[in-house]
Amino acid sequence: MSIQYAPVVATSVTKQIAEQIRESIFDGRLKADDRLPTEHELADQFSVSRPTIREALKLLAAQNLIRSRRGPTGGTFVKRPTEEEARADLTTAATLLVSLGEFDLAEIAEARHELELVCGRLAAQNRQPRHLEQMAAEITVQKDPELSDEAFCASDVRFHRALVDAAGNSVLGFVMYTVIEALQPVENMVIFRFRERQKIIGQHEKILAAITDASIKRTEKAITKQMNYLRTQFAAAQEHRNRMTG
C-alpha cells in the first residue's frame, strides 16, 4: 500500500487506526480489492502490537469495509460494498431509527403521502411500458384469493416500488425504497388487521390507470385516495394501541 499515515495521538489507538484506514478507503487511496499490508506490517507501520491492529480491523470488518483470508495469497482486502449491500445498510439504519424514534403514525402517513405524490407526478410523466406492466402484474397477483397475507403485503410493496421506479429518478427511488421498507412493519400491521384487499386493489387499479394515461391530476387524486385510506387505518390502529396500553 505504501501510504503514509499520520502518527497516532490520543484517545483509543485502536479507533484512531481504524479511522485512518477508513479514511484512506473513502478518499480513494485504497480502492476496492486493494490488499492492505499484512497485520504484522501494519503493526510495524503504526508502531502498535498485532492484537491492536486486529481490533482496528474488526471495527472496519463490522462495517463491511474489509474482508480477510488466510494463506499465502490471503490477507486483508478492501471490500467496497455493492450498491445492494449499501442499500441494505441504509435500510437497516432507517429501520433502527423507526424502531427507536417514536414516530407518530400520523406523521408517517403524511410523509408517505407527500413522497408518493411526488413519485406519482413524475411517474405520470416518465413511466415506461415495463413499469406499467409490472404494476399490472402485481395487481393480478393481488387478486388471487388464495394469496397469503404475507404474499399480499410483498406484492403491495412491489407495486409501489414499480411506481417509484416509473418516476425515473434513482435518488428519489432510494429515498422511497428506504421509507417504504422502514415503514413496512407498521403498514403490514394495517393490512393484517383490516384485510380489505378489494379496496386496496381498486385503489391500485385507479393509480395505474391514471399513470398509464399520463394524467398528473388523476394520479394525484388516486394516490391521495389510497393514502387517506391508509391514514384512517393508521388512526384506527393507533387508537387500538392506545386502548391496549392505556
Positions touching its own copies (CB under 8 A) are 14, 18, 26, 51, 54-56, 58-63, 80-81, 83, 86-87, 89-90, 92-94, 96-97, 99-101, 103-104, 107-108, 110-112, 114-115, 117-118, 122, 169-172, 174-175, 178-179
Cα separation, 37 vs 28, in Å, equals 16
Q: Does 13 bind DNA (CB under 7 A)?
A: yes
- The binder of 38, among its own copies, DNA, none, by C-beta within 5 to 8 A per type, is DNA
3-state secondary structure of 87: helix
Q: Which stretch, 67-75, 104-112, 164-172, 177-185, contacts DNA (CB under 7 A)?
A: 67-75
Q: Does 50 bind DNA (CB under 7 A)?
A: yes
Instruction: Tell how far CA 118 is from the center of its chain.
Output: 18
Q: Does 73 bind DNA (CB under 7 A)?
A: yes
Exposed, middle or buried, 174 (CB in 10 Å: 0-12/13-18/19+)? middle
Long-range pairs, 83-87, Cβ under 8 A, ≥24: 87/174, 87/177, 87/178
Q: Does 45 bind DNA (CB under 7 A)?
A: no
Q: Which residues pair with 68 in a beta bridge?
A: 76
Q: Which three cell numbers stand for residue 187?
A: 403498514
Q: Which three cell numbers stand for residue 135?
A: 404494476
By beta-carbon proximity to its own copies, the closer residue of 26 and 192 is 26
- The binder of 71, among its own copies, DNA, none, by C-beta within 5 to 8 A per type, is DNA
Neighbours of 240 (CB within 10 A): 12
Q: How far is the CB of 90 from DNA (least distance, A)?
A: 25
- The binder of 191, among its own copies, DNA, none, by C-beta within 5 to 8 A per type, is none
